[in-house]
Amino acid sequence: MSELLREKGRNVRRALIPLISTSLVIWPLTGLGSPLKWGYAPNDPAPYVVVENHQLGPSITLTLGHAVAERLGRSVRFIPVPNNRIDDALASHHINVICNTIPNWIEQPDRYQWSRVIYEDADIIINRLDQAPIHDLGSLSGAIVGTTLGYYYAPELTNAFNSGQVIRHDARNLPTRLNMLLHGRLDATIEFRRSAQYAIAQQGLDNLRLNDWVVEHFALQCVVSYPDPNWSRQVAEAIDSLVEDGTLPHLLQPFEGL
C-alpha cells in the first residue's frame, strides 16, 4: 500500500471516531447477550469492504456494523463469508446480519427480516477518456468488458454476453480491472458507481470516464437472521433508525469523494 493510501486510511479512521460517537442512541435489545455477528463478503469492493491483514478495515461495512451495535448496546464481531456461502450462513445463523444486498440475491428472502433501503448504487460503465462515451448497449458492441467473476448482470447485458455481442472478461477485483483498462487490455469495465468513484479518487485516475448510462440500479438493504424473529425485528429497526434520524449519511461522508 502506498504512503498516500496509508494516509487516506488514517484520515478515514480519524473521521469515523466523532461520527460513530454521535450515534450513541441505545436501542434496547432484550435477550441478546452475545455479540452481533455481522457478515461481509471479502471480495466486495471498497469502500463497502476493505480487508487489511485478513481483517475488516475502515469501510462502510465496519462503520455501519459498529454504529448498529452501539445503538443496540452490544458488541459486534465481523465474520467473512464468501458470496457463494451467504445463503448457508444466514440459514444456519452463522451470521446475523449482512448488508449491501437485495432480496433477489438471497434464497427464500421472505424467511428473514429486512431493513429499509440504506443506500443506493448502480452498475455503470467505465472507459478511458481517449475512447468514445458509452451511452447504451449498442455503444459496447464488440467491446471486451471487465466483469466480476460469478456476478449476474442485468438481463439486457447478460443476453449481449451470451450472444457474443459484448465480450465478457472476468477479472479478480476492481483494481485489477481498472489496471487492465488503463493498459488497453479491456475496452471498458462495469462497476458499482460508488466503488468506481472511490477507487478513481484514491488513485488519481483522471484519465478514466464514469459514463452516465445506468446499466442497473440497486436499492441496497440489510438482511437479518436470528432464531427468534423478535430479535431480528429489533436489529432491523436499529438499522432503520440510522436512516430515519439522518445518522447514516453522516457516517458515509468519509467514503465519499476521497
Mean pLDDT of 76-81: 98
Q: Quote the percentage of the chain above a pLDDT of 90.
A: 83
Coil, helix or strand at residue 36? strand
All three cell numbers of 198, joined, read 472511490
Higher-confidence residue: 241 or 23? 241
Cβ-proximal residues to 214 (8 Å cutoff; 6+ apart), any chain? 122, 123, 124
Instruction: Decide: 69 and 222 in contact? Cβ < 8 Å.
Output: no
Which DSSP letter does residue 47 get? T
Least Cα distance to 228 among 31, 46, 26 occurs for 31
pLDDT value for 86? 97
The Cα–Cα gap between 46 and 174 comes to 9
The phi, psi pair for 205, rounded to 5°, reads: -90, 75
**All structural domains of the chain:** 3-119+218-255 (3.40.190.10), 122-217 (3.40.190.10)
pLDDT value for 256? 81
Lowest mean pLDDT among 7-16, 92-101, 140-149: 7-16
* Mean predicted lDDT score pLDDT of the chain: 89
Query: 24 pLDDT exceeds 70?
Result: no
The Cα–Cα gap between 20 and 162 comes to 45
The Cα–Cα gap between 74 and 112 comes to 21
Higher-confidence residue: 113 or 31? 113
Say which amino acid occupies 192: F
All three cell numbers of 232, joined, read 431480528
Q: How far apart are the first and last CA of the chain?
A: 16
Instruction: Decide: 66 and 76 in contact? Cβ < 8 Å.
Output: yes
All three cell numbers of 89, joined, read 450462513
33 band by pLDDT with thresholds 50, 70 and 90: low
Q: Is the bond into 58 cis (omega within 30 degrees of 0)?
A: no
Query: 3 pLDDT exceeds 50?
Result: no
Quick: pLDDT tens for 81-126.
Answer: 999 999 999 999 999 999 999 999 999 999 999 999 999 999 999 9
Q: What is the pTM of this model?
A: 0.85
The Cα–Cα gap between 240 and 224 comes to 12
Q: Quote the percentage of the chain above a pLDDT of 70.
A: 86
Least Cα distance to 252 among 44, 51, 56, 62 occurs for 62
Could you tell me whether strands 51-52 and 167-171 are parallel, antiparallel, or unpaired per DSSP bridges? unpaired
164 band by pLDDT with thresholds 50, 70 and 90: very high
